[in-house]
Structure 1
């Protein structure tokens, strides 16, 4: 009977590691390749092929398919078959691709011909005011003000800055500490990356990251805990209480977390009682609670008949609303780059009553065309009742993936909410031992799925430990996906998983 190839046998695994990317033809530049009708690949600016030198993280570029067009739920490369989009990039293209969303395109072009830009410091514009009203109403009035920006990293950076300035306004400038969690990811800027607890994404920049004022708690990841759930929950909240005591409550400005963790863990929801316990500690000690819903929010994790727009609203716990919340990705479906920081009504009222202005701004903040795009996207989601579809097709997606893959010896956990589902791969099902990092299992599944099964999934590493081990793929299709397409996605994904692990077995 065959057995899984040992992850500690370098001599036997060498042929399994990804080979170096092929080079462009001699004498041809990337521009030549891009302009050539016969070329189907272009060098990617972000390296993805790793060698075995983890200390230096040396990498070489890989080649990605060159796209001709994208339409509906498919990508069409210059050459080769069309590719079924099962992840919308990083969970972004929530309305799919192309001209089918005519109302969004019309809103953008109309706004460009009306007011294409106005500095937020000089003018107010109607689409920004309408968008703020819509977002605040979507939280049942819990949020009271919006700062519209371009990326999730910007929104997180703004949230951290707001927390510090708010406490300074309140005569507490000594509140300079930020609490976040291990195995978390909050963005690419130095501040947001300092808050992040994803080891490998932090590694190249550790020398300049702020390790004095940023402190990390253990994540809430039930699959990785040997404790019974109630005992595990208690241990997590005890860890928070201990850290608050160690730092001193009067020095802590904010705590930031993803209500449902995205790329860093792979679609992991919290235990019941976790968010309410976190909020209770924050409220008691005057610590601002920030929800990073950049990836999990704006309808992505809708599961219930009420079809709430925000991830935290899907948990049946009494008032767990945050003091601040960041959103992006499905906010604009990436018709245009968009993100936002929402602050609570009490914080908004504080600004007004104390005549305070947040010391923060970007050139394209409160951009009228971006606001118009976001309004049109959210209007489309509402008018087509797509959150109902997210709940229905999300339930089907999770059920079918579990049916197809839960018994696979190298599939450890399948979890998520709505159209936000992660599949974690393990070397041993009993011990939950992760694969060695250099085997690049998640990347291998991603590449096999793309090349041999023509389906795009999102791959990530580092969900199991601080050595960057732990492989997961994420499935995050568009909100208007059909049951037929869900079944097709699952068939292709399951086929790719079986193919990859079939190649890892020896007689």
Structure 2
């Protein structure tokens, strides 16, 4: 799906690969320059929650641009930013009381880390010794140096390791397919993982830890892995015991992707800080943010009152208009009902078609967020050698005109280097017919890729 790299002045993700150009899009489909109708079954990277070309969203963005496209948040605010914030705060039942809007997921994670640190400096008796974070392996929280340092994905970190901060350590993920021991119950697994987190607090010194950070459903790093029941409650209990903050990264799994607007609603556990992105604006404009617990807000207000962090495009009016339009559309069209209904249908079709596939080790996910993990040997769960680049082969095969489907392939599933999975994240407006087409095409792709091996 490449053209001559000498024809492009862009530094693409791969200097030897120039992708075909998109010339249009509607609903679940993108239209390419060569006339291909392409099924966008991953929404890019779980971004396009409303699909493409939504006229209501486009109109609200145009209306905002006619009013004002930019103002600096140090000087002015906008009504559209206030409306977006109120909608999102209300969606948490007021449990999270303020919104901070930036442009990308990485920026949101950076802001969350800095806010967590500053919170402890703003307490009546400052706790300046709190400088450390605990995250999980092999997590991915963003690509800027702070966010990359927080994550625990070996391949993504490796080239930049000498540049990364040393203030983050990592514990095991809640990854039942590979993490649970034979005969171990969910409850016992949770107890073991909570003990591991407790041990890490003790190793670091409990009084030095700012926060524990995790994705409610792990996205790109593991391929749509949900936690077992009770896990997040247990993790938050450990944090509260030691006065540390509990941060949930919902950049990928939140804003309706897993069937509720916030993934934590299903876990019945409220974060102190929550990052949001991707589905927040559905790709109609770059937008992300953090939702902040009221105790943090009150502590800041009684302290300096100043969050010592700011960005040029913070609260950008056009981005806020896009996010507000997307969220209003989700509400007005009751699209979370469709996420749950079509998500259940996608789950049933994937399991019916691939549960007995010799190289599909696990099928997992929630809502319209599903992952397949591939194995060389189903009995031993042995992954394919990393040299095979299986996930890249699957993703690349899907891009070929014969298939024309997006399959978000990722590697490093097992240890950050070995292991392959793919992510499926269709838009919230997806139909049964489109899911059938997706599953049928995926079956053809896997058949051809494994035959070539």
Give the structure 2 partner of residue 405 of structure 1. Answer: 354
Give the 5 Å matches for 1:95-114.
95-98=50-53, 101-114=54-67
Decide whether the 8 Å contact of 1:255 with 1:289 is kept in 2. Answer: yes
Local SS of the residue matching 1:110: helix
Q: Deviations over 1:460-483 (max 9, x none)?
A: 1011114x1110111101000011
1:260 and 2:217 correspond: yes
Q: 1:22 to 1:423 in 2, by over 3 A?
A: closer
Decide whether the 8 Å contact of 1:387 with 1:479 is kept in 2. Answer: yes
Q: 1:271 to 1:249 in 2, by over 3 A?
A: same
Shift of residue 181, structure 1, vs aligned partner: 0.6
Local SS of the residue matching 1:194: helix
Whole-Å separation in 2 of the counterparts to 1:498 and 1:233: 37
Local SS of the residue matching 1:456: coil
Decide whether the 8 Å contact of 2:190 with 2:234 is kept in 1. Answer: no
Give the structure 2 partner of residue 218 of structure 1. Answer: 172
1:291 and 2:248 correspond: yes
Q: TM-score of the superposition, structure 1-length normalised? A: 0.86
Whole-Å separation in 2 of the counterparts to 1:225 and 1:174: 33
Decide whether the 8 Å contact of 2:130 with 2:207 is kept in 1. Answer: yes
1:485 and 2:437 correspond: no
Whole-Å separation in 2 of the counterparts to 1:342 and 1:175: 21
Give the counterpart of 2:341 among 392, 404, 413.
Answer: 392
Query: Unpaired runs of 5+ in structure 1?
Result: 1-20, 32-42, 48-59, 303-307
Between structure 1 and structure 2, the one with the greater Rg is 1
Decide whether the 8 Å contact of 2:46 with 2:425 is kept in 1. Answer: yes
Greater relative CO, 1 or 2 (CA 8 Å, sep 6+): 2
Give the structure 2 partner of residue 136 of structure 1. Answer: 89
Local SS of the residue matching 2:225: coil
Give the structure 2 partner of residue 363 of structure 1. Answer: 312
Give the 5 Å matches for 1:280-429.
280-302=237-259, 308-315=260-267, 317=268, 320-429=269-378
Q: Deviations over 1:248-280 (max 9, x none)?
A: 111001111101100000000001111000010
Whole-Å separation in 1 of the counterparts to 2:361 and 2:2: 34
Q: 1:396 to 1:159 in 2, by over 3 A?
A: same
Decide whether the 8 Å contact of 1:176 with 1:253 is kept in 2. Answer: yes
Decide whether the 8 Å contact of 1:44 with 1:61 is kept in 2. Answer: no
Residue correspondences, number: 447
Q: 1:226 to 1:258 in 2, by over 3 A?
A: closer
RMSD value, Cα: 1.6
Q: TM-score of the superposition, structure 2-length normalised? A: 0.96
Give the structure 2 partner of residue 433 of structure 1. Answer: 382
Whole-Å separation in 1 of the counterparts to 2:2 and 2:147: 35
Shift of residue 355, structure 1, vs aligned partner: 4.5
Local SS of the residue matching 2:134: strand
Give the structure 2 partner of residue 45 of structure 1. Answer: 12
Shift of residue 450, structure 1, vs aligned partner: 2.1
